[in-house]
Amino acid sequence: MGILNCTPDSFSDGGHHFEPQKAVRRGSEMLGEGAAIVDIGGESTRPGASPVNATEELRRVIPVISALREAAPDAVISVDTSKTNVAVQAIEAGADIVNDVTAASEPGMIELVAEHGAAIVLMHMRGEPRTMQSDLTYRHVVAEVHGHLVDRAAAAVAAGIPRRRVWLDPGIGFGKNDDGNLALLAALPDLAAHGHPIVVGPSNKSFIGRLTGAPVEDRLPGTLGASIAVLGVDRAVVRVHDPAAAWQFFEIAGRIHEVSV
């Protein structure tokens, strides 16, 4: 899953693809680099980020989704939003998946996705981007995160979304400390055992910088190292800024894993 942030303030690539033409060009490049999905977002969810109103978020993402759909009719497009009115217009513009960092906490989101036959990514986040790093204490981080996601997935299935279209994301870097992030990565097989596809997003995250000292622009090796966690996990997607490097990494690492099992 290639990350396409149409924002001025995302932590890793803010401002790089803020203009629609640049964003569409980069989305097309990602597909050529091996991305199976392009995830388009118009609101930064970095720690401490301020919220963006729906009008501005729509202005940022709808032209990009529409143009990318026209340029790549067979592409799988995801919209990174937690707002129902953004989600519905994004689906109508061509999005196949709603990637919701709040696990569909806004009333009506699950029902909207079910009605339109889309898929949904349910991610765990404690609080909201402005506050999520203020409380990183869990009694049992894996059990608590997995339990929350399984409960939200059950609600989505009950609303009519097929299980195969309900994806779970443990929310690496969203209200967890470094040990919690590592524990959740190690526990991806346990999360997948609940029968849903998995999404994981370690790309360029701050925990890589804290563990290695690497600045955000030099965290690709750490991103690929964290991505090892998905090897052997069925129906797992890694959300990355650099699809070309990730594709090459998994092409080799996956073949080695197949030989070794």
For tokens 């980069």, name the residue. 26
User: Could you tell me the CA-to-CA distances from 95 to 118, 206, 236 in Å, in that order?
Assistant: 8, 29, 20
83 in catalytic set: no
Residue 99 token pair: 């990637």
Collapsing DSSP states into helix, strand and coil, what is residue 79? strand
Choosing from 60, 176, 205, 219, the catalytic residue is: 205
Residues 82, 106 contacting (CB under 8 angstroms): yes
205 in catalytic set: yes
Residues 31, 85 contacting (CB under 8 angstroms): no
Question: Nearest Cα to 91, choosing from 56, 54, 117?
Answer: 117
| Residues catalogued as catalytic | 205, 239
